């Protein structure tokens, strides 16, 4: 049963978390459930708080594991949920809630990308009540021009992949880890992902999908806070709950997350399309979808 925290304790927890981040400490671990928290510091350490690892595209994915990987586990009192109440919380209509998040994002200048040639913010598109959500890396040139994710060549391939699953693009929700195009389509930097992904987490909590598909290494490693190769990340399910926010639906405990290749990578290496289709078939089975007859 959840406990309410006093204002003093909330402030203490907030200050403690800020202190750790300023010290460069990002990974926290859960105590054994048998050991009750006995101080503000212990409570602060009680939630799993992880920042994204260093990110690389698929062709540079072979890396050693992180020296300290976050342990994702539930806790009795979620410090982050208490400390980060958002304006959309309590808004029942997901369309209105997403609008609030977009307005809160504004003409974002929170990271360096707003000075590096981006034309506009690419927020996300699709069904706000979607059971299935696709999350990619970052907007490209076409997306930056049109203000919609996955509209270039990679987007056309993603649309075809969605149709092969027996769905239309309008039935799913599509977004990216970051919402501004990096110059020359470079891989997003760690601090850019850290700055932008909280808005994505709020989108996920608002949409409340049953399944999320992480497209590519950047999306997978950011969402899961796991530094591993795509070959190891694919082919299994992960339990995912957006960090730092909470859903307004107490019956939604999170989504199942699967990892597959980014469509842009599949364009560069079409031989991997067969492997990506295996990943999508796993998703289809989970959602009870059948491929349309040819």
Q: Which long-range contacts (CB under 8 A, 24 or more apart) does 103-109 make?
A: 104/199, 105/179, 105/199, 108/179, 108/180, 108/196
pLDDT score of 5 more than 90? no
Whole-model pTM: value is 0.74
Spatial separation of the C-alpha atoms in residues 195 and 181, rounded to whole Å: 14
Lowest mean pLDDT among 7-11, 75-79, 247-251, 284-288: 75-79
Helix axes 217-224, 190-207, angle to 10 degrees: 70
Return all residues near 1 (Cβ < 8 A) that are at least 6 apart. none
Spatial separation of the C-alpha atoms in residues 46 and 5, rounded to whole Å: 14
Domain ranges of the chain: 86-287
For residues 262 and 34, the model is more confident at 262
Spatial separation of the C-alpha atoms in residues 113 and 180, rounded to whole Å: 7
Burial zone of 273 (CB within 10 Å; 0-12 exposed, 13-18 middle, 19+ buried): middle
pLDDT above 70: percentage of residues in the chain: 71
Structural contact between residues 179 and 121, judged by C-beta atoms closer than 8 angstroms: yes
CATH 3.40.470.10 fits 86-287, yes or no: yes
Radius of gyration of the chain (CA): 19
For residues 47 and 289, the model is more confident at 289
Burial 214-250 (b: 16+ CB within 10 A, else e): bbbbbbbbbbbbbbbebeebbeeebebbbbbbbbbee
């Amino acid at each position: 049963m959840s406990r309410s925290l006093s204002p003093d304790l909330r402030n203490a927890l907030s200050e403690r978390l800020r202190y750790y981040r300023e010290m460069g400490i990002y990974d926290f671990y859960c105590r054994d459930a048998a050991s009750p928290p006995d101080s503000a510091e212990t409570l602060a350490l009680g939630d799993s708080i992880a920042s994204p690892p260093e990110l690389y595209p698929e062709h540079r994915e072979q890396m050693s594991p992180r020296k300290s990987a976050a342990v994702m586990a539930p806790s009795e009192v979620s410090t982050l949920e208490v400390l980060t109440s958002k304006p959309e919380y309590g808004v029942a209509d997901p369309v209105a809630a997403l609008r609030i998040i977009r307005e809160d994002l504004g003409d974002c200048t929170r990271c360096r990308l707003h000075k590096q040639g981006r034309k506009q913010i690419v927020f996300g598109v699709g069904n706000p009540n979607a059971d299935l959500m696709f999350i990619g890396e970052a907007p490209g040139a076409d997306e930056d021009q049109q203000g919609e994710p996955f509209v270039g060549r990679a987007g056309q391939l993603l649309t075809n992949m969605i149709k092969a699953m027996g769905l239309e693009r309008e039935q799913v929700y599509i977004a990216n880890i970051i919402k501004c195009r990096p110059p020359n389509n470079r891989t997003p930097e760690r601090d850019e992902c850290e700055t932008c992904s909280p808005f994505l987490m709020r989108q996920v909590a608002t949409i409340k999908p049953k399944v999320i598909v992480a497209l590519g290494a950047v999306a997978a490693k950011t969402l899961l806070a796991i530094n591993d190769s795509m070959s190891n990340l694919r082919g299994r399910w992960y339990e995912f709950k957006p960090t730092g926010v909470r859903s307004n639906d107490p019956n939604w405990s999170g989504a199942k997350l699967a990892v597959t290749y980014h469509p842009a990578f599949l364009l560069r290496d079409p031989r991997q399309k067969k492997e990506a289709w295996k990943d999508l078939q796993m998703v289809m089975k989970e959602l009870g979808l059948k491929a349309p007859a040819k």
